[in-house]
Structure 1
Amino acid sequence: MTTSQEELLPATRRALLHRIATAQAEGRSPSLVAAVVRGGETVWHGSRTSVDGHGPDENVQYRIGSITKTFTAVLVLRLRDEGLLDLGDPLEKHLPGTGAGEATIAELLAHTGGLAAESPAPWWERTPGSLRPELSDVLGEQPHRHPVGRRFHYSNPGYTLLGALVEELKGARWEDVLRSDVLEPLGLHRTSGHPQAPHAGGWAVHPWADVMLPEPIEDLGRMAPAGQLWSTSGDLARFAAFLAKGDDRVLSAESVLEMRTPAAPAEAEEVAAGAAYGLGMQIQHRGRRTFVGHGGSLPGFLAGLMISVEDDLAAVVLTNCTSGPLVSTVAADLVRIVAEAEPRIPEPWRPLPEVDRSVLELTGPWYWGTNAFALRLTADGGVSLGPLSGNGRRSRFRADGDGTWTGLDGYYAGELLTAVRRADGSVSHLDLGSFVFTRQPYEEEAPVPGGVDPEGWRGIR
């Protein structure tokens, strides 16, 4: 991924600079660095610092805290895609004896495994990982706080278990697997488990005075898969581009879409805030935009990575203070600034290179009862089905190669769509998960469940 600052208009660049300058000043952060990604490339980079002449660039490392969890989730999805596990497997199948093995791998990824939010005292983020050498030290005597699978409850120990799962199935250290399977293929050469110069120091800023205190930098040991990593705005910009579109060297577009899809039931306050959680990724609705990504914090550092897939934009914001700017909000604002000032230009419309006539004849209006739907061809060779007007159930379908289609999203995700033909080859109706769609409302010749009154349509007598 290359950097091309000239692609943004001067007014847009100034608005971005103003936003991060305001965040650094009002958040009282020793330094702040940010990047914006559009179309898979970094199109803007900016920084602010309290030390004149020492503004960090895109190669300066900051600690990224829980954005580490997204990296760990990528490793677990890779294991699934390699056939080494199923997300529905209980942890006990692959990592026995933890005392938390009832939870499935998917539940751990989505923070619905019922585990505690933190490890037993002392506070793991500010003490050496050597105090917790075993998984039992991370989980404690009572690892669960809720029944497995019943509710979303953010759990750092849950991601420790996922890191241990990676090590068990790959026979290597979590960080080594991460480097060989993710960091090197994506060119994230400045992302590491321990700081590598140049890197920022972590600071606590006094809440009532403009003075600072250095924060300790601890090796988190077993907790590393939950929050150990250091990275740069440049590397995280590349990672954001990957999370938006996938990379077959690491994970397919379909698998990263799965990560970005809500997988956990939200609490009432999260529903009100428009928040959800996928597989290692946070999902937030801000205004008319949906953002995916993750935030992170460790003593001395705050980090935010936000992606708007629809706008083809992402932003990264990193700071070196324990509390300060709301970095995920700042990142979302950077995306919004570019999206509103320089809206995405659509790709030119182009006709399909070829089309199957037996599929083409299925396009157009269909009726489920008296509800009108339209079936359309999609550019990827599949079809979509949705209401002709207003809200209603709509889904995209991929072709299965045998005359059927499987739902990809919405109400009909995973459901089978079949065009049922008569003996002469003509289309009788569509069958979608037992629903019958006909060319006319309650068509007499179609096998409408419950039958059709033989007197047909009529007015009041």
Structure 2
Amino acid sequence: MTIAQSTEFPRPEPVGHGPGVVGTPDEFAELLPQTRRALLHRLAVGQAEGRAPSMTGAVVRDGRAVWTGARGAVAGEAPHGDVQYRIGSLTKTFVAVLVLRLRDEGRLRLEDPVGRHLEGTPVPDATIAQLLSHSAGLAAEPRGPWWERTAGELRPEPADLFDERPQRLPAGRHHYSNVGYALLGALVERLRDGVPWGEVLRREVLEPLGMDRTTLRPEKPYASGWAVHPWADALLPEPAEDTGLMGPAGQLWSTLQDLCRWAAFLLRGDARVLGAASLAEMRTPAVPPESGTWDAGYGLGVQLLRREGRLLVGHQGSMPGFLAALWADAEEDVAGVVLTNCTSGPAAGALAADLTGIVLAHEPRIPEPWRPLTGPLDPELLALTGPWYWGANPHALRLRAERGLELTPLSGAGRSSRFRAEEDGTWTGLDGYYAGETLRVRRDRDGAVSHLDLGTFVFTRGPYEPSAPVPGGVDPEGWRD
């Protein structure tokens, strides 16, 4: 096989034109030369040490591809951003978005047992949330021979996916299950009136995002999948089967360009597909760690990784002949994508994470300029801001855009949360300890603000203020020396 070496693609390519994703190649901000060289060096080392026939990589920042590169060859030529690779379990992120769309439409609830919507499943009590987060305790793989290398016709019916013991562990523990995502694909088809999940994906997600090179079956130009001999520089072709009912676990083929669009979507959302709030929900750890701390976890359809003090979200994927990885840092609005066509060898996940780290190390994110709030200020809302005390622990309440609030501790340990304004005059916690909890402003008989009630916690204007209804009361003699 002829190996053609490439440095970088001529310019970063546009990743789409949806909300939050900007325009044409001329608008891309160039990375510094030393940053570009460091990225190319990391990709080159990954391809050479991993002995990959070809490898492509990209960095997405601020909704656009800012760097793309490639090494090796596909059909004797350097791969470009429109060459398809199989992306394996990255497929699961697409399926999860389809399920969240159904939830946002009111067609299902995440706490619903799957049997409520999907008849005949041998695990009817597994909830949709558990299937999304791999916490239903289901078997990791379907019944029968190695599903990734055999035709889907071997398992023509959903019942053919399970053996006599479909549940391996009690529900609640994380246990990765490819077969669980086969059920989610079937669920999508059932609630979309029998339309195949791949067609639903094309209509509802891929077309709106401009991802016309993401398909169930390979379409030219595409890379062939190879196994690399462990002790010799020799190649063996791998099969590329249609996995049938197991497709939602890892069937998709995609390109670097399309996955840059997908990374931008996962970071920012798109009102035509799924909003930022639902994507933030996907990024929230869904299963508690079995130890006190965690370096890797799982949300709703996405993997979570703590790396060098940063939280990355995305997924890794593997199928015979292919490895893929997409890791995104939502706080820094940057993502790395890597695609390669060999079964094993390259550490695609570490490489994709390193691409994001290189950009942040060489060119730290420049924050958005501060701007004042727009629109008329509500004097009563502004009067709520400032110091509040939970017992003797001082906190600050700040006013944010769209009547939102943010509560942060001012000293010692404390709990921070942001809050979304609701139409009934309350606020709902968006993150941290108070996520989902209700913040209410309580008033006295004269209508003056008495205290804040946050999920039964009382916040007062003074530390243990005697006039406020502090649970358990305040010693009548007050503070003393």
Q: Which moved more, 1:95-104 or 1:291-300?
A: 95-104
What is the rounded CA distance, in whole Å, between the counterparts of 1:273 and 1:441 in structure 2?
35
Displacement of 1:52: 9.9
Partner of 1:141: 164
> Per the alignment, in what secondary structure is the counterpart of residue 317 of structure 2?
strand
Stretches (4+) displaced over 4 A = 2-6, 50-53
What is the rounded CA distance, in whole Å, between the counterparts of 1:369 and 1:333 in structure 2?
44
Shift of the 306–456 alpha-carbon distance from structure 1 to 2, 3 Å rule, reads same
Shift of the 3–125 alpha-carbon distance from structure 1 to 2, 3 Å rule, reads farther
Q: Which moved more, 1:209-218 or 1:415-424?
A: 415-424
1:113-144 alpha-carbon deviations (Å, 9 max, x no partner): 11000112311011111101111111222111
Does the 8 A contact of 2:138 with 2:177 survive in 1? yes
Displacement of 1:446: 1.0
Partner of 2:454: 432
Matching residue's letter, 1:78:
R
TM-score by length of 2: 0.92
Displacement of 1:332: 0.7
Unaligned runs of 5+ in 2: 1-15, 17-23
Displacement of 1:103: 0.5
What is the rounded CA distance, in whole Å, between the counterparts of 1:391 and 1:339 in structure 2?
29
Q: Which moved more, 1:273-282 or 1:222-231?
A: 273-282
Matched, 1:364 2:386: yes
1:404-449 alpha-carbon deviations (Å, 9 max, x no partner): 1111111111111111112332211111111111111111111111
Matching residue's letter, 1:46:
G
Matching residue's letter, 1:24:
Q
What is the rounded CA distance, in whole Å, between the counterparts of 1:307 and 1:147 in structure 2?
31
> Per the alignment, in what secondary structure is the counterpart of residue 327 of structure 2?
strand
> Per the alignment, in what secondary structure is the counterpart of residue 46 of structure 1?
strand
> Per the alignment, in what secondary structure is the counterpart of residue 417 of structure 1?
strand
Shift of the 174–339 alpha-carbon distance from structure 1 to 2, 3 Å rule, reads same
What is the rounded CA distance, in whole Å, between the counterparts of 1:104 and 1:355 in structure 2?
44
> Per the alignment, in what secondary structure is the counterpart of residue 403 of structure 2?
coil
Partner of 2:407: 385
Matching residue's letter, 1:69:
K
Partner of 2:8: none
Q: How many corresponding residue pairs?
A: 456
1:16-68 alpha-carbon deviations (Å, 9 max, x no partner): 10000000000000000011111111111100005796111110000000000
Does the 8 A contact of 1:3 with 1:41 survive in 2? no
Unaligned runs of 5+ in 1: none
Q: 2:322 aligns with which of 301, 308, 313?
A: 301
Partner of 1:58: 81
Partner of 1:251: 274
Partner of 2:298: 277
Shift of the 123–53 alpha-carbon distance from structure 1 to 2, 3 Å rule, reads closer
Partner of 1:93: 116
Q: 1:102 aligns with which of 80, 103, 125?
A: 125
Does the 8 A contact of 1:175 with 1:193 survive in 2? yes
Does the 8 A contact of 1:3 with 1:43 survive in 2? no
Displacement of 1:344: 1.2
What is the rounded CA distance, in whole Å, between the counterparts of 2:29 and 2:438 in structure 1?
48
What is the rounded CA distance, in whole Å, between the counterparts of 2:46 and 2:160 in structure 1?
39
What is the rounded CA distance, in whole Å, between the counterparts of 1:229 and 1:90 in structure 2?
27
Does the 8 A contact of 2:137 with 2:170 survive in 1? yes
What is the rounded CA distance, in whole Å, between the counterparts of 1:69 and 1:229 in structure 2?
9
Matches within 5 A, 1:134-213: 134-148=157-171, 150-170=172-192, 171-213=194-236
Q: 1:341 aligns with which of 359, 362, 377?
A: 362
Partner of 1:402: 424
Does the 8 A contact of 1:315 with 1:332 survive in 2? yes
What is the rounded CA distance, in whole Å, between the counterparts of 1:81 and 1:95 in structure 2?
19
Matching residue's letter, 1:13:
R
What is the rounded CA distance, in whole Å, between the counterparts of 1:337 and 1:83 in structure 2?
42
1:92-121 alpha-carbon deviations (Å, 9 max, x no partner): 100021111110001000001110001123
Does the 8 A contact of 2:402 with 2:421 survive in 1? no
1:235-280 alpha-carbon deviations (Å, 9 max, x no partner): 0010010011110100011111111111123344xx7661110010
Matched, 1:22 2:45: yes
> Per the alignment, in what secondary structure is the counterpart of residue 66 of structure 1?
helix
Shift of the 429–451 alpha-carbon distance from structure 1 to 2, 3 Å rule, reads same
Displacement of 1:367: 0.9
Displacement of 1:381: 2.3
What is the rounded CA distance, in whole Å, between the counterparts of 1:282 and 1:237 in structure 2?
18
Does the 8 A contact of 2:213 with 2:258 survive in 1? yes
Does the 8 A contact of 2:73 with 2:79 survive in 1? no
Matched, 1:453 2:453: no
Partner of 1:330: 351
What is the rounded CA distance, in whole Å, between the counterparts of 1:132 and 1:180 in structure 2?
26
Does the 8 A contact of 1:37 with 1:241 survive in 2? yes
What is the rounded CA distance, in whole Å, between the counterparts of 1:370 and 1:272 in structure 2?
29
Identical columns (%): 64
> Per the alignment, in what secondary structure is the counterpart of residue 195 of structure 1?
coil
Does the 8 A contact of 1:3 with 1:42 survive in 2? no
In angstroms, what is the RMSD of aligned CA positions? 1.4
Matching residue's letter, 1:303:
A
What is the rounded CA distance, in whole Å, between the counterparts of 1:121 and 1:396 in structure 2?
49
What is the rounded CA distance, in whole Å, between the counterparts of 1:31 and 1:94 in structure 2?
43
Q: 1:114 aligns with which of 132, 137, 150?
A: 137
Does the 8 A contact of 2:393 with 2:411 survive in 1? no
Displacement of 1:380: 3.9
Displacement of 1:312: 1.0
Partner of 2:338: 317
